[in-house]
C-alpha cells in the first residue's frame, strides 16, 4: 500500500511520527496524522485545510484534542449521550483527577516501551486511517494515495479527531467541497498525481 503514497503523503506519515516524538507519546495516533497534515504545504490537502481555516485554528484544535484526551477519548457525542442518561462526564473526570492527578484518563499516558526500542507503533485507529485513505483513493478513481485521501480518511473514522474536525467546520462534506468542489465523492473525478 505504501508504494502508492505520494511524496506528500509519505511526508505526512513521517511528520506524524515526529509529532508523536515531540509530544512524548508512545504511539502515533490519528491526532498526530492530522497535525502533520496541517504542516504540509503545496498540495490539495494543504489548500483544503487553509480554505477551511484549520491552519488558523491549530491552537484551538490542539486544545480540543487535549480536552478529548482528558475525557479519556470520549467524543462530544459520547459525552452528550451520557448526559442524556444523567451521567456528567465532566464531574467524573474531575473526581478521577482529584484522586489520580490531572490527565489520569489520557489513554496516551501509558508506558514508554518505545523509549527502549526506538520505535513508535501506530495505534489501531491510525492504522485504520491509513487503510481508509486507500479506500478514499479507490473511491475517487485515483491510482495514488495523497494527503487529500488521508484528510478524507480522518473525517470518515468516528472518534475524537473527526469530532474535533467537525466542531471546527471540517465535516466530511465540507472537506469534500474544499478538495473537489463537491460533496459526492464520486469516482471519475480523479486528478494527476501531485507527487
**Domain annotation covers residue 190:** no
Instruction: Tell me if residue 145 falls in helix, strand or coil.
Output: strand
CB atoms within 10 A of CB 143: 9
Quote the pTM value: 0.76
Nearest-angstrom CA–CA distance, 157 and 81: 19
* Distances in whole angstroms, Cα of residue 54 to Cα of each of 17, 26, 76, 168: 20, 26, 19, 7
Phi, psi of 170 (to 5 degrees): -105, 65
Q: Model confidence over 15-29: pLDDT tens digits?
A: 999 999 998 888 999
Q: What is the mean pLDDT of residues 188-193?
A: 40
* Structural domain of 138: 2-107+121-180
Lowest average pLDDT, out of 36-40, 51-55, 83-87, 106-110, goes to: 106-110
**pLDDT at residue 33 is higher than 80:** yes
**pLDDT at residue 148 is higher than 90:** yes
**Domain annotation covers residue 195:** no
Nearest-angstrom CA–CA distance, 182 and 186: 9
Quick one: 38 exposed, middle or buried, by C-beta within 10 A (0-12, 13-18, 19+)?
buried
Lowest average pLDDT, out of 2-11, 92-101, 173-182, goes to: 92-101
- Residue 49: name the closest of 147, 186, 153, 163 by CA: 147
Q: Residue 69 — pLDDT band, cuts 50, 70, 90?
A: confident
Q: What is the pLDDT of residue 107?
A: 52
Nearest-angstrom CA–CA distance, 53 and 8: 20
Q: Model confidence over 81-130: pLDDT tens digits?
A: 777 878 776 677 566 656 766 655 555 544 444 444 457 899 999 999 99
Strand partners, 145: 5
**Domain annotation covers residue 94:** yes
Number of domains in the chain: 1
Q: What is the pLDDT of residue 169?
A: 92
**Domain annotation covers residue 165:** yes
DSSP 8-state symbol, 123: P
**Domain annotation covers residue 188:** no
**Domain annotation covers residue 84:** yes
Beta strands in 76-158 (DSSP E): none
Q: What is the pLDDT of residue 89?
A: 62
**Domain annotation covers residue 143:** yes
**Domain annotation covers residue 138:** yes
CATH number of residue 149's parent domain: 1.10.1780.10
Amino acid at each position: 500500500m505504501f508504494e502508492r503514497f505520494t511524496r506528500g503523503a509519505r511526508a505526512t506519515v513521517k511528520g506524524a511520527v515526529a509529532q508523536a516524538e515531540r509530544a512524548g507519546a508512545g504511539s502515533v495516533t490519528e491526532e498526530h496524522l492530522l497535525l502533520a497534515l496541517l504542516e504540509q504545504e503545496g498540495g490539495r490537502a494543504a489548500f483544503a485545510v487553509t480554505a477551511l481555516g484549520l491552519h488558523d485554528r491549530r491552537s484551538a484544535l490542539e486544545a480540543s484534542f487535549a480536552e478529548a484526551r482528558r475525557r479519556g477519548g470520549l467524543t462530544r457525542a459520547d459525552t452528550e449521550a451520557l448526559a442524556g442518561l444523567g451521567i456528567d462526564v465532566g464531574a467524573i473526570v474531575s473526581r478521577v483527577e482529584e484522586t489520580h492527578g490531572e490527565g489520569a484518563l489520557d489513554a496516551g499516558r501509558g508506558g514508554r516501551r518505545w523509549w527502549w526500542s526506538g520505535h513508535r507503533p501506530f495505534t489501531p485507529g491510525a492504522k485504520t486511517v491509513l487503510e481508509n485513505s486507500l479506500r478514499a483513493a479507490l473511491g475517487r478513481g485515483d491510482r495514488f494515495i495523497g494527503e487529500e485521501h488521508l484528510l478524507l480518511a480522518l473525517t470518515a473514522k468516528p472518534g475524537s479527531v473527526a469530532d474535533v474536525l467537525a466542531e471546527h467546520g471540517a465535516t466530511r462534506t465540507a472537506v469534500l467541497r474544499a478538495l473537489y468542489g463537491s460533496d459526492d465523492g464520486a469516482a471519475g473525478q480523479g486528478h494527476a498525481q501531485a507527487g
